[in-house]
Amino acid sequence: RQYRIALIPGDGIGTEVVDAAWQVLAAAAARHGFALAAEAFPWSCAHYLAHGRMMDADGLERLSAFDAILLGAVGWPATVPDSVSLHGLLLPIRKAFDLYVNARPHRLLPGVRGPLRAEDFDLLVIRENTEGEYSGAGGRVHVGTPHEVAVETSIFTRRGVERVLRHGFEQARRRSGRLASVTKSNAQKHTMVFWDEVTEQLAAEYADVQCTRYHVDAIAARLITHPASLDVVVASNLFGDILTDIGAAIQGGLGFAASANVNPGGGVPGMFEPVHGSAPDIAGRGLANPLATIWAGALMLEHLGEAAAGAAIIAAMEAVTGAGRVATPDMGGRASTAEVAAAVAAALADG
């Protein structure tokens, strides 16, 4: 089997971590008997400065021919405003392919020290990725006057809420059988009460899954105090955004946090990426931790149906962090991005 992968390295360390992850993915493909055919797209802030757009006009159409997209990071605030780079590339891709699930695994790899005392947590946070609080509905009136009013309306649809929760229940079934649904339905009486109702309907359908409802403030605290008590967490766009930053922090930082943007069963390419950005402060020096992007690559293989290869990549990362010898500066070591990737690829060959 062969999979076609669109690579969008982007800006700054994006190019470095995608190069690194590709080495590991190629090694995994060779070992597990499938082929990965990559085509790289130079869409980035440099592309914007040269051509006046972040991606080519037919970019989305070209991407639709691929099985998956692996993205590094987009943004270079020194030359292009972040609002331009984000709205010109990342958001159009999420929107065009209706990538309504944003799934982020959060756990500590062996040997990695997070800020918490708890070490045994293993979370999958699923964030609704297309509607909710980030729908963009609203506006301002009487601008600049003492009577100014600004309104930002959340939009939740039954289709939107049900499909992301259903994905959560399916994942819970495959994992520990526990699901946490996040709202603030004591304070937000329309949208969040609706979310609770849809949760209860699905909970009846998935009677084998233990479903618990949490308010977002309570679960934010619980992520710090008792992260091991949680497994699959499903939340709206805004709440998921905030909770996954907590997740990234407790798993050791941005160098480890990976993200899958997918439309399960949609027949469209998913987009897999590290959570971090282009890190202008360390770009071009081989200092970036590639593990977040390698992990994103493992999620990509899993989504493509190559679960064994994805699991082998995770095991190889664990072997490298557990041994503690090859580590980038953010992990307390002195190795380069490429050296960490080479160590993971080598562990994969041994594994």
Q: Which stretch binds ligand NAI (CB under 6 A): 201-209, 217-225, 286-294, 317-325?
A: 286-294
* Interior/surface letters 34-69, b for 16+ CB within 10 angstroms, e for the rest: bebeeeebebbbebbeeeeebbeeebeeebeebbbb
Among 273, 297, 313, 341, binds ligand NAI (CB under 6 A): 273
292 contributes a contact to ligand NAI by CB under 6 A: yes
Instruction: Give the contacts of 331 (CB within 8 A, at least 6 positions apart).
Output: 112, 252, 255, 289, 321
Among 56, 241, 330, 339, binds ligand NAI (CB under 6 A): 330
Identity at 256, one-letter amino acid code = F
Q: Let me know if 206 is a catalytic residue.
A: no
Q: Let me know if 231 is a catalytic residue.
A: no
Q: Let me know if 245 is a catalytic residue.
A: yes
Query: 150 pairs with which residues across the strands?
Result: 140
Q: How far is the CB of 94 from Mg ion (least distance, A)?
A: 14
Q: Let me know if 241 is a catalytic residue.
A: yes
Q: What is the full DSSP assignment across 113-135?
A: --SSS----EEEEEEE-SSEEEE
Q: Which of 122, 196, 245, 330 is catalytic?
A: 245
CA–CA dist 348, 309 (Å, integer) = 9
278 contributes a contact to ligand NAI by CB under 6 A: yes
Number of residues binding to ligand NAI, judged by CB under 6 A: 23
Q: Which stretch binds ligand NAI (CB under 6 A): 52-60, 93-101, 116-124, 282-290?
A: 282-290
127 contributes a contact to ligand NAI by CB under 6 A: no
Nearer Cβ to Mg ion (39/217): 217
294 contributes a contact to ligand NAI by CB under 6 A: no
Q: How far is the CB of 273 from ligand NAI (least distance, A)?
A: 6
289 contributes a contact to ligand NAI by CB under 6 A: yes
Q: Which stretch binds ligand NAI (CB under 6 A): 53-61, 67-75, 112-120, 163-171?
A: 67-75
The tokens for 162 are 């049900």
CA–CA dist 68, 343 (Å, integer) = 25
In the chain, what is the straight-line distance between the N-terminal and C-terminal CA atoms, in Å?
Answer: 22
Distance from chain centroid for Cα 11:
18
Q: Which of 184, 206, 214, 231 is catalytic?
A: 184
Q: How far is the CB of 247 from Mg ion (least distance, A)?
A: 10
Q: Let me know if 3 is a catalytic residue.
A: no
CA–CA dist 126, 261 (Å, integer) = 10
Q: How far is the CB of 111 from Mg ion (least distance, A)?
A: 26
Nearer Cβ to ligand NAI (112/180): 112
Cα 182 to Cα 164, 199, 215, 247, 259: the distances in Å are 12, 10, 6, 15, 19
78 contributes a contact to ligand NAI by CB under 6 A: no
Closest CA to 126 of 241, 216, 204, 225: 241
Closest CA to 260 of 127, 73, 149: 127
What does the binding site for ligand NAI look like in residue numbers (CB under 6 A)? 13, 17, 73-77, 82, 90, 254-255, 273, 276-282, 288-289, 292, 330
Catalytic machinery residues: 134, 184, 217, 241, 245
